[in-house]
Amino acid sequence: MERRIIGAGLFAGLIAGIVSYVFARIFIEPQVGKAIAYEEGHGAAEEAMNAAMGHGGHDHGDVEVFTRSVQENIGAGVGTVVFGLAMGAFFAVAFVVLWAYIGRRWPSTDPRAVAGVLGLLGFVAAFGVPFFVYPANPPAVGDPDTIGARSGSFLTITLVSVIAMIIAVVVALHLRERLSGLGAAVVSGIGYLVVIGIAKALLPQFHEIPEPLKNDQGTIVYPGFPAEVVGLFRVYVVANQVVLWTVLTLVFAVAISAIARRGARSADDLVAASS
């Protein structure tokens, strides 16, 4: 049974990854193109300004290994699908563990409801909170010298968020027998938010959206990064993740329902097979 559940997770992740890539290709890639165009224009303006001031041009020495077409089509497509598959596998494993406990304690629980709650919690822990702490920025936004620090900080808040969410779920399930379901959720939710608040306060902050380029006289020779591009990029990134997690959850729930009908006549049988 576990193999079929993992297979359902991988299938759901594959579908979610494909749909997510199509969404990103239509809505996010145009914003990425604008960001790259800004970066090229900013670099050219900076070199021209330095040359005019007698400082000499600055050659970044960038070599394009893959063309933009390859990056936005093949590269992005493969990356998004692989990410979807990984999320599907993790989702299935989390479901098996969670359902083994919930199904045994409360056999009448609908496994599709468990999948729905798991999808919501996964979205919040794996994307929502990390995005709130470190909002996504398009290319050309950020100091290259801080890439390591930014990546490490984002990974840290993501791990803290996921681990804290797991603990919160365990606490909520334990307290459900003493408190109401709502009371247990509130208590565990407050604990989760406290942990996230402490982590956010301890982690460094990065404010690196490019300002207008000015010469020694203070005259703007190239505008700052367009706020509209940043805003639209972030909106579409959030929407893309909503699409991915929604499709993943719905497809997985349908697959789980089919597995339950074929391999188990009752929720008790599904619990026994998953244990």
In a domain, 120, yes or no: no
What was the pLDDT predicted at 266? 47
Q: Give the pLDDT of residue 90.
A: 97
Number of domains the chain contains:
1
Q: For the chain, how are helix, strand and coil distributed in percent, rounded to 5?
A: 75, 0, 20
Higher local confidence (pLDDT), 37 or 145: 37
pLDDT in tens, 107-157: 888 999 999 999 999 999 999 999 999 999 887 677 777 888 999 999 999
Q: Please, what is the Cα angle at 69 between 67 and 72, to 5 degrees?
A: 110
Give the tokens for residue 79.
């990356």
* The pLDDT of residue 60 is above 60: no
Its domain, for residue 56, covers: 2-107+210-274
Q: What percent of the chain has pLDDT over 70?
A: 89
| 123 is a domain residue | no
Q: Is residue 17 part of a domain?
A: yes
Query: pLDDT (tens digit, 9 = 90+) per residue, 231-252?
Result: 999 999 999 999 999 999 999 9
| Contact indicator for 157, 132 with CB cutoff of 8 Å | no
Q: What do you get for the CA distance between the two ends of the chain, in Å?
A: 10
The tokens of 238 are what?
A: 């959030």
Other beta carbons within 10 Å of 253:
22
Q: Cα dist. 185→83, 99, 104, 136, 246 in Å?
A: 29, 18, 20, 29, 22
Distance CA 24, CA 77 (A): 9
- pLDDT over 60 at 229, yes or no: yes
Query: Confidence band (pLDDT; 50, 70, 90) for 53?
Result: confident
User: pLDDT above 90 covers what percent of the chain?
Assistant: 57
pTM: 0.86
Per-residue model confidence (pLDDT) at position 68:
66
Using CA atoms, how far residue 218 sits from 1, 52, 224, in Å, is 68, 15, 14
| Cα–Cα dist 4/8, whole Å | 6
Asked if the structure places residue 78 within a domain, the reply is yes
Is 154 part of a structural domain of the chain? no
Q: Which residue in 149, 134, 129, 131 sits closest to 194, CA to CA?
A: 129
In a domain, 152, yes or no: no
d(CA 90, CA 86): 6
Residue 52 forms part of a structural domain: yes
Check residue 272 and give its pLDDT.
Answer: 55
Residue type, 39: E
44 inside domain? yes
Measured distance CA(120)–CA(252) in Å, rounded: 13
Please tell me the predicted confidence (pLDDT) of residue 237: 97
The Cα 111–Cα 267 span in angstroms is: 8
